[in-house]
Amino acid sequence: MRLLRGYLGREVLLATLVIFGALVMLFGFFDLIQELADVGRGGYTFTAAVIYVVLHLPSRMYELFPVAALIGTLFAIAQLVANSEYTVMRASGMSLLQTSWAVLRIGIPLALITFLAGEYVAPQAERMATTLRAASRGDASQVMAQQFQSGFWFKQDQTFVNIRSVLADMTLVGVHIYEFDRDMRLTRLRVAEAGHYDAARGQWRLDDVQTTEISPTATTVSHDASWTWDTVLRPSILNVYQVAPERLELDALYDNIHILSQNAQKTSRFEIAFWNKVLYPATVLVMMLLALPFAHFQRRAGGVGVRIFVGTMLGLAFFLIGRLFANLGVLNDWPPLFSALFPLCVFAALAAFMMYRMERR
């Protein structure tokens, strides 16, 4: 039985990797075609476009792996059924539970590897790709400024901060810091031309700072070449304006949730993205289990291609419903964990029910 489980696992692994590679190359080719439209703009060359697409691939791989796991498992088991190998396995005493474990023991390490790549490789590569693209096209100063009408605003205690724009390298441009007393009277205004983050100290260094002190009796103005700004604002908070929340790492999502909740702002999108990321390995496994019921058909009855097509459409429906619930969760203020978990539970229950019905037969 161990030999049969190993053989089944190898077939699933090989098919999944082949499908995964094909999907990555296909979508990478589509991305390159899309980038070719911008070649020639500023200093954006064909080489820069290729590098951008390559740096964008880790994010694509993270998104595509669950689909590749579903299609690869479907294809591998359909081939075994078509060659009557799957029938021999079941006749030899291999239960559906053992079949599921043979598939899951391949899926678990692959899902974890892809999760780690999406956590530690994809976000950094995505930021590098964005920075390269902006610098090559000569519009680096607009990468994040386009996200706002009046700049980036945030509140910390009695201080309100406005940042006119943030460059791709996380340089702050046009920083205004408004400090109020407990009666919400403006007491101090600091205006800086630019700001740079000192990672070693965990502080921002503001350049060319003008400070206006406001008191009931007088107003004074002073200038400093530089000023150290100690604040809860971190580059991870600003990363969301370079990289979509769904592609951020968990600690960046946590930082955004923390700072937004402290300022009584909406955190639904970040919390849903956080839970979707945590549940990512389970998503891959559910996709693989969803493929198993479609293997239970008789070869002489035909319909192999139809079943693979239906199974693939069901997997794509899972992602569409997942995105739908994510958007509905943001719009309707549903519990983030519910918005992320409900589609997964529904499809897991569907896969379990279909396998139960097949086993009863």
User: Do 285 and 340 reside in the same domain of the chain?
Assistant: yes
Q: Are 96 and 358 in contact (CB under 8 A)?
A: yes
Any domain includes 245 = no
144 versus 137: the higher-pLDDT residue is: 137
Per-residue pLDDT for 92 more than 80?
A: yes
Question: Is there a single domain that holds both residue 157 and residue 63?
Answer: no
* Dist. CA 251–CA 236, nearest whole Å: 8
| pLDDT value, residue 10 | 94
Kindly indicate the confidence band of residue 145, based on its pLDDT and cuts at 50, 70 and 90.
very low
Residues 290 and 339 in one domain: yes
Residue 221 has pLDDT above 80, yes or no: yes
**Are 7 and 81 found together in one domain?**
yes
Asked whether residue 256 is assigned to any structural domain, the reply reads: no
Give the number of C-alpha atoms closer than 13 A to the C-alpha of residue 190, restricted to the C-beta side. Answer: 22
Task: Residue 291: name the closest of 271, 279, 273, 309 by CA.
Answer: 309
Do the Cβ atoms of 221 and 242 come closer than 8 Å? Answer: no
What is each CA distance from 158 to 179, 185, 237, in whole angstroms?
6, 10, 19
Domain match, 215 and 188 both: yes
In this prediction, residue 147 carries a pLDDT of: 46
Residue range of the domain that includes 186: 150-233
Cα–Cα dist 28/31, whole Å: 5
Compute the distance between CA of residue 138 and CA of residue 160 in angstroms, rounded to an integer. 31
Does residue 295 belong to any structural domain of this protein? Answer: yes
Tokens representing 28 are 């990478």
For the entire predicted model, the pTM comes to 0.78
Q: How many domains does the chain have?
A: 2
Residue 272 has pLDDT above 90, yes or no: yes
What tokens appear for 161 in the block? 């901060």
Question: Is the pLDDT assigned to residue 146 strictly greater than 50?
Answer: no
The answer on 100 and 12 residing in a single domain is yes
